Amino acid sequence: MENRNSHVDSESFRAVLGNYPTGVAVVTGLDPAGEPIGMVVGTFTSVSLEPPLVAFLPMKSSRTFNQLRAASDRFCINILGADQEAICRTLASYGENKFASVPWHASPEGNPIIDGVVAWIDCEYANVVDGGDHYIVLGAVKTMGLERDISPLLFFQRGYGRFSTSSLVLASEREVLQHVRLAELAREEIEAVARELQVGCSVVAAAGSDSIYVAVADHSPEQRGKNRLGVRAPMVPPLGTLFIDEPNTISEEAWLARLGKNGAEAAVRAQKQLERVRQRGWSIALLGDMSAHELEEAVELYSCPHRTPEQERRFLDTVSKMFDQHEPVHIEKTKNYDVLHLSVPVQRSTGETVLVLRLSELPKSLQGVEVDRYLERLQAAAAQVESLL
Ligand X SMILES: Cc1cc2nc3c(=O)[nH]c(=O)nc-3n(C[C@H](O)[C@H](O)[C@H](O)COP(=O)(O)O)c2cc1C
For the bound state, the minimum distance from the C-beta of residue 25 to ligand X, rounded and expressed in Å, comes to: 9
Which one of 42, 112, 152, 345 is in contact with ligand X (CB under 6 A)? 42
Q: Evaluate whether 356 touches 322 at the Cβ level (below 8 Å).
A: no
Per CB under 6 A, does 39 bind ligand X? yes
| Contact pick of 47, 53, 92, 136 for ligand X (by CB under 6 A) | 92
For the chain, the straight-line distance linking the first and the last C-alpha, in angstroms and rounded, comes to 57
Q: How far is the CB of 63 from ligand X (least distance, A)?
A: 3
Tell me: does residue 30 bind ligand X (CB under 6 A): no
Distances in Å between the Cα of 133 and the Cα atoms of 65, 130, 136 are 13, 8, 10
Residue 58, interface with ligand X (CB under 6 A)?
A: yes
Interface with ligand X, residue 75, by CB under 6 A: no
Q: Report the residue number, 24 or 206, with the smaller CB distance to ligand X.
A: 24
Least Å from the CB of residue 246 to ligand X: 43
Q: Is 155 in the site for ligand X (CB under 6 A)?
A: yes
318 binds ligand X (CB under 6 A): no
For residue 339, give the nearest of 315, 361, 323 by alpha carbon.
Answer: 361
Task: Please tell me whether residue 284 binds ligand X under the rule CB under 6 A.
Answer: no
Residue 139 touching ligand X (CB under 6 A): no
Give the integer Cα–Cα distance in Å for 292 and 340.
Answer: 8
* Distance between CA atoms of residues 39 and 26, nearest Å: 5
Tell me: does residue 154 bind ligand X (CB under 6 A): no
Q: Which is nearer to ligand X, 23 or 288 (CB)?
A: 23
- Taking CB under 6 A as the binding criterion, the range among 63-71, 105-113, 319-327, 375-383 that sits at the site for ligand X is 63-71
Interatomic CA distance for residues 12 and 8, integer angstroms = 7
Q: Which stretch binds ligand X (CB under 6 A): 35-43, 171-179, 341-349, 360-368?
A: 35-43
CA 28 to CA 223: how far, in whole Å? Answer: 49
Beta pairing, strands 36-41 & 22-23: unpaired
Binding window for ligand X (CB under 6 A); candidates: 9-17, 56-64, 251-259, 282-290: 56-64
Regarding 82 and contact with ligand X (CB under 6 A), the answer is no
Q: Would you count residue 25 as binding ligand X (CB under 6 A)? A: no
Q: Which of 30, 37, 64, 360 binds ligand X (CB under 6 A)?
A: 64
Interface with ligand X (CB under 6 A), residue from 43, 271, 318, 384: 43
Interaction between residue 287 and ligand X (CB under 6 A): no
Of the pair 58, 240, the CB lying nearest ligand X is at 58
Residues in CB range of 281: below 8 A, 6 or more apart = 344, 345
Instruction: With contacts defined by CB under 6 A, name the span among 53-61, 195-203, 246-254, 278-286 that binds ligand X.
Output: 53-61
Give Cα separations from 242 to 81, 251, 266 (angstroms).
38, 12, 18
CB of 128 to ligand X, least distance (A): 13
- Please report whether residue 99 would count as binding ligand X according to CB under 6 A: no
Number of shown-chain residues binding ligand X (CB under 6 A): 16
- The CA distances from residue 387 to 349, 355, 376, 383, in Å, are 9, 13, 17, 6
Q: How buried is 386 (Cβ within 10 angstroms: 0-12 exposed, 13-18 middle, 19+ buried)?
A: middle
**Residue with smaller CB distance to ligand X, 118 or 176:** 118
> Are 68 and 75 within 8 A, CB to CB?
yes
Q: Report the residue from 45, 52, 53, 62 that binds ligand X according to the rule CB under 6 A.
A: 62
If the CB atoms of residues 4 and 158 are measured against ligand X, the closer one turns out to be 158
Considering only residues 5, 94, 105, 289, which one is a binding residue for ligand X as defined by CB under 6 A? 94
**Contact footprint for ligand X (CB under 6 A):** 24, 39-43, 57-59, 62-65, 92, 94, 155
